[in-house]
Amino acid sequence: MSTSTITAIRKEFEQAGPGALIPTSRLLRHGTRAAVDQALSRLGRAGEITRAARGLYYRPKTSRLAGPVPPEPQALAEALAKSRGESIAAHGAEAARRLGLSTQAPLSPVFLTSGRSRTVQSGQLKVQLRHAAPKELVLAGTPAGEALRALRYLGPKQVTPAVIAQVRGALPVAEFKTLREETNAMPAWLSDEFYRYEHPQSGSSERQVVRELADA
């Protein structure tokens, strides 16, 4: 391993800043794979960098009270996905919490991925990645997609026109329009609820028909 390799890699972590996640593949321009691995190992032993997951490193932030601070779950999940060419999105429970539609959240961070299911441990941080079908990852990385996953998670018993109105208030106009147009990724009950939100009188008419049939 040449001195230039370890110097270049150290500089890259310094320029990226504390907490920034860097994949090994990004560092290969500084030397051979063996030289880069040796440099990462040496920097790790010196405490200058920390291994977040296989092939993924960062220069840790330090808290006076807690010591080294692990990367944010979202940043770790996104870096893992990018390094492996996967799509990734927050789980519906977390998406609903972010939108103020629920107060519940998983005990450990959970993300949906187009890759295989797995659990990644980074220090005390544990991140779960769960394989999801393409339809569950529609609009990944956008506010509209997050809202879609939140509504799917809440289900037909909790999603009402009032909830959809709350989502509309939380999203930029363009994002809500994108969400509304993504009917192919919506279960039928959710598409129906959007229709009732946009046509409130139709909901009353449907309920009247149900009552009349019940009385017949």
Domain-embedded: residue 116 = yes
Mean pLDDT of 153-166: 94
Q: Choose the final residue of a domain: 20, 36, 69.
A: 69
Residues 62 and 169 in one domain: no
Domain-embedded: residue 65 = yes
Residue 213 above 60 pLDDT? no
Residue-level pLDDT at 209: 44
Structural domain span for residue 131: 73-202
Residue-level pLDDT at 211: 43
Residue 202 above 70 pLDDT? no
Mean pLDDT of 66-82: 83
Indicate which CATH number applies to the domain containing 63: 1.10.10.10
- Total structural domains within the chain: 2
Domain-embedded: residue 207 = no
Residues 32 and 116 in one domain: no
Reported as a single tens digit per residue, the pLDDT across 22-65 is: 999 999 999 999 999 999 999 999 989 999 888 899 988 876 77
pLDDT bracket for residue 206 (50, 70, 90) = low
pLDDT bracket for residue 205 (50, 70, 90) = low
Residues 11 and 30 in one domain: yes
Residue 193 above 50 pLDDT? yes
Give the strands of the sheet with 118-122, arranged side by side. Answer: 88-90, 110-113, 125-131, 118-122
